[in-house]
DNA sequence: GATGAATGAGCATTCATTCAT
DNA sequence: AATGAATGAATGCTCATTCAT
């Protein structure tokens, strides 16, 4: 009749699986065998399936977790004083964050499998948060008016994917970011 | 009208296999089962292997074919009158061409499997051709001086990857290209 | 009475696979498709691979199992009173045992694929055990001095291979053994 | 209307295929791909099939060719003066000849595929020729009476198979032959 | 709930045989 | 007759998913 930590155990296992999957997907992409993830998590394959009905669902959960944090961060930037700076902070965050994870880059770029509904929603949320920042920046004159959030995301997720191949080249990253930054400036009034 | 091989022209079959592989790889990436490619080509699996000793070799041939055309085109631009325009023509070509092919985008971005030697060489050739155009453009004052060809390729292959998801949105492509174009301009002397 | 796995005892399945492989290899050599072995064992192909990472590993295990028993038997003969009799017991054992198994005959004769390391070691152990018996028999005057264990093994594994084709002819076996037995006697002192 | 060497060409091709197959089978056994044989022979795969309806038929022809020569040799020994010496010459021939050819050893030992009819007949012929030699030797007191040709063949084809693994060890061959030779002697009358 | 063994469809690749040229 | 391209069944092996314990 004692309160055995059943629920706690389950929750802990779920977390461990998620963490292991994050690592594994980030390192090797969707191709990593599910058994590997289970082993990394220190659980049986069956346990993974108890928490996630499908490998794809696990992938979804991993991405969702990451995207949610991005969205939160983006929202927290929405009230910053300097709208232009906030927008570029967001973009830099995007590049930095995705750089360490092949999976996220894939998900954002739409590469890989067809994105399940939840991921699409989360991307949608991210776009909306980004759009808020973009609009504020545009109104503040920090960003040219003739771009929308889709274009911005395409530019940055694309760059992220490309930079993922050269993780140890900060000069390259700097150049890429500089071009994007300058290209997003409003035209010089003459 | 039947799909059976009417005349066993080896060359024709090779071409059909290559074409089928191009389609298939473009549509689904390296993951397409080789049997599917064979079926699309209307040949047996063995025939694919007669022409390409390995699935990877087939992929290589497909990419090589595309890359070679790019390189040729790039080289033909090297003598154009307006160096800046030639450079941006090249970039537009890159985006347009890669847009229809996940495989090429992957290959250029370095995503997917480790690129076999020939592809690496072809990429090298493409970089060199691009570099020539870039340098001429920079000397002509059409492009900022502080970027190198690696950065440019990262920006454009990345954008290509991202745009691949939205093939039917010319406005988006236009915006993306505009940002990259403007971002590559030399700083305005004031 | 059904062939489906009633209780998923891994050990039992492993044993069934091993037994099936023994039969199959004995009957048809290394050429048996692994699926056939799986079918004989009443398991899926994947199960075979769970227990043996490779077809070759399975073969190795089968041979190893047999060889080990031979070695044990040979060693147990090393302390017998009559050294000559012990030696010929060993040889008879070899013929009898290998008779039912093309695979063992192959392995001993070195036919078939290159023997993996473990088999080579086990053969080495068998040779050593045989050598002990041979030397004792030679010292006791039961066997001619001008043969070594390699020659003896060549004679007996060879005979085994040949007799394998006529498993139901005890008279033939008897003749063969008699010739070998007499040929191994020391020269008659006159 | 000239007499083009059609027949001659065909015959030459057949011979080349046979020679190539002999080499290939001797070196690698039945496992050698038919295309390799065709390439070695400098003809197309189709040409091989024009002369031999089946890979197995080609194998059969190769073996038959070898066996026939053995039979001829054996028959030529049947009239030799020293019946015992003739018999042992035959046996030595067997060992020497088969030693260079995995395929023949296989065929004689009955290893490999089920022997097609023709091979069985040729083996039969070889047995008969051997039996003649054996009987003459037994009558001359050169060989023990209680063995038949089947036993002798088992002993020698077996030894051949085993020795095939150690082609560069003449001392070993010598020992093996010595044991068989002595074992075949008639018992010493005391 | 957790475990990890079992399943079996799926994939790249080989090769004997056929057939268009 | 010869060629060698095409065929397609077969094989070893992987891995997402299920299920007995």
The domain limits of chain A are: 1-53, 55-184
The string of pLDDT tens digits covering residues B32-55 is 999 999 999 999 999 999 999 999
More reliable by pLDDT, C190 or A102: A102
Nearest 5°: phi and psi at D54? -155, 155
Terminal CA-CA length for chain B: 68
CA B113 → CA A28, B60, B106, B119, D187, distances in Å? 11, 11, 9, 12, 74
How high is the pLDDT of residue C34? Answer: 97
The answer to whether residues D85 and D41 touch, using CB atoms and an 8 Å cutoff, is no
What was the pLDDT predicted at A1? 46
DSSP conformational letter for B187? P
Q: What is the pLDDT of residue A37?
A: 97
A13-27, A97-111, D80-94, D103-117: range with lowest mean pLDDT: D103-117
Tokens standing for residue A170: 């900060």
Protein-proximal nucleotides of chain E (any atom < 7 Å from a CB): 1-21
pLDDT score of A3 more than 50? no
Look at A96-110, A147-161, C101-115 and tell me which has the smallest mean pLDDT: C101-115
**Which nucleotide is closest to the Cα of A55 by its C1'?**
F16
- Are the CB atoms for D51 and D20 separated by under 8 Å? no
Mean pLDDT for D161-185 is: 91
Angle between the N-to-C axes of helices A170-183 and B149-163, in degrees from 0 to 180, rounded to the nearest 10: 60
Q: How far, in Å, CA of C71 to CA of C90, rounded?
A: 10
d(CA D45, CA D43): 7
Rg of chain D's alpha carbons, rounded to an integer? Answer: 19
Percentage of chain D beyond pLDDT 70 is: 87
> Quick one: pLDDT at residue B153?
93
For residues D113 and B61, give the distance between their C-alpha atoms in angstroms, rounded to a whole number.
41
Structure tokens at B41: 């080509």
Q: What is the structure's pLDDT at A160?
A: 87
Residue nearest to nucleotide E14 (CA to C1'): B46
Q: Which of B76-85, C130-139, D20-29, D93-102 has the lowest mean pLDDT?
A: D93-102
Burial per residue of B55-69, b for 16 or more beta-carbon CB atoms within 10 angstroms, e otherwise: beebbbbbbbebbee
- Grade residue A167 by pLDDT with cuts at 50, 70 and 90: confident
Which residues, at least 6 apart from A122, have a Cβ–Cβ distance to it below 8 Å?
Answer: A63, A64, A67, A68, A71
The answer to whether C180 contacts D175, with C-beta atoms less than 8 Å apart, is no
Q: Which residues contact D50 (CB under 8 A, 6 or more apart)?
A: none
| Average pLDDT of chain A, as a whole number | 88
Confidence class for position C87, pLDDT limits 50, 70, 90: very high
Does D2 score more than 60 pLDDT? no
Same fold, D1-53 and D55-184: no
Evaluate if the CB of C141 falls below 7 Å from strand F. Answer: no
Domain A55-184 has CATH 1.10.357.10: yes
**Whether the predicted pLDDT of D112 surpasses 70:** no
Provide the 3-class DSSP secondary structure of residue C4. coil
pLDDT band at C2 (very low <50, low <70, confident <90, very high): very low
Q: What are phi and psi of C164, to 5 degrees?
A: -55, -30
User: Stretch C122-149: mean pLDDT, rounded?
Assistant: 95
The HSE-up count of residue B46 (CA atoms within 13 Å, CB side) is 0
Say if residue D46 is exposed, middle or buried (CB neighbours under 10 Å; 0-12, 13-18, 19+).
Answer: exposed
Is there contact between A9 and strand E, defined as CB under 7 Å from any strand atom? yes
Give the pLDDT of residue D123.
Answer: 86
Continuous H helices in B30-185? 34-41, 45-51, 55-77, 83-99, 102-109, 117-139, 149-163, 170-183
Rounded CA-CA distance C1/B108 in Å is 59
Residue-level pLDDT at D136: 96
CA distance D78 to B164: 85
Phi, psi values for residue D5, rounded to 5°: -75, 55
Predicted confidence (pLDDT) at residue D40 exceeds the cutoff of 70: yes
The half-sphere exposure of C86 on its side-chain side, counting CA atoms within 13 A, is 24
Measured distance CA(B86)–CA(A48) in Å, rounded: 54
Cα gap B4→B13, rounded to integer Å: 11
Phi, psi for D151 (deg, rounded to 5):
-65, -45
Give the C-alpha separation, D97 to D23, whole Å: 14
pLDDT (0 to 100) of residue C100: 63
CA of B115 to C1' of F10 (A): 31
Q: Specify whether the CB–CB gap between D146 and C175 falls below 8 A.
A: yes
Alpha-carbon span D147 to C181, nearest angstrom: 13
C62 neighbors C21 (Cβ within 8 angstroms): yes
Binding-face residues of A in 33-92 toward B, CB within 8 A: none
Query: What pLDDT is stored for residue B118 in this prediction?
Result: 81
Closest chain B C-alpha to A45 CA, distance in angstroms: 24
Distance from CA of C24 to the nearest CA of D (A): 15
- CA-based torsion, A120, A122, A123, A128: positive or negative: positive
Nearest to B75 by CA among B100, B93, B58: B93
- Look at B111 and A188 and tell me if their CB atoms are within 8 Å: no
Closest residue on chain A to B184 (Cα)? A179
Q: What is the C-alpha to C-alpha distance for residues A154 and B172, in angstroms, rounded to an integer?
A: 9
Return all residues near B153 (Cβ < 8 A) that are at least 6 apart: A162, B108, B127, B130
Q: What is the mean pLDDT of residues C110-114?
A: 59
Q: Looking at beta carbons, which residues of chain B come within 8 Å of A172?
A: 150-151, 154
**pLDDT category, B77, cuts 50, 70, 90?**
very high
Q: How far apart are CA A157 and CA A153, in angstroms?
A: 6
For the whole model, what pTM was predicted? 0.84
Q: Between chain A and chain D, are at least 3 CB pairs below 8 A?
A: no
The pLDDT assigned to C129 comes to 94
d(CA C162, CA C184): 19
The answer for B 158-187 residues in CB contact with A (under 8 A) is 158-166, 169, 172, 175-176, 178-185, 187
- With a cut of 60, say whether residue B5 has pLDDT above it: no
Does the domain made of B1-53 have the CATH classification 3.40.190.10? no
Distance of CA A42 to the CA centre of its chain: 26
Tokens at B12, concatenated: 């024709």
Residues 6+ apart with CB under 8 A from B141: B84, B186
- The pLDDT score that the predictor gives to residue C6 is 45
Amino acid whose CA is nearest the C1' of F20: C8
Mean pLDDT of C125-135: 94
């Amino acid at each position: 009749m004692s309160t055995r930590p059943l629920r706690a155990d389950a929750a802990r296992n779920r977390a461990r699986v998620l963490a292991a999957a994050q690592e594994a997907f980030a390192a090797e992409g969707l191709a990593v065998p599910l058994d590997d993830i289970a082993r990394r998590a220190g659980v049986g394959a069956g346990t993974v399936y108890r928490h996630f009905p499908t490998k794809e669902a696990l992938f979804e959960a991993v991405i969702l977790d990451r995207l949610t944090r991005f969205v939160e961060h983006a929202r927290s930037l929405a009230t910053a004083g300097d709208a232009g700076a906030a927008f570029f902070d967001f973009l830099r965050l995007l590049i930095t964050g995705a750089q360490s994870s092949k999976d996220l880059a894939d998900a954002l770029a739409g590469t890989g499998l067809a994105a399940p509904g939840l991921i699409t929603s989360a991307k949608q949320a991210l776009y909306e948060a980004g759009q808020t920042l973009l609009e504020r920046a545009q109104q503040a004159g920090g960003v040219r008016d003739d771009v929308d959030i889709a274009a911005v995301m395409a530019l940055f997720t694309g760059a992220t994917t490309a930079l993922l191949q050269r993780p140890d080249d900060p000069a390259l990253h700097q150049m890429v970011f500089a071009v994007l930054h300058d290209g997003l400036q409003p035209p010089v009034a003459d």
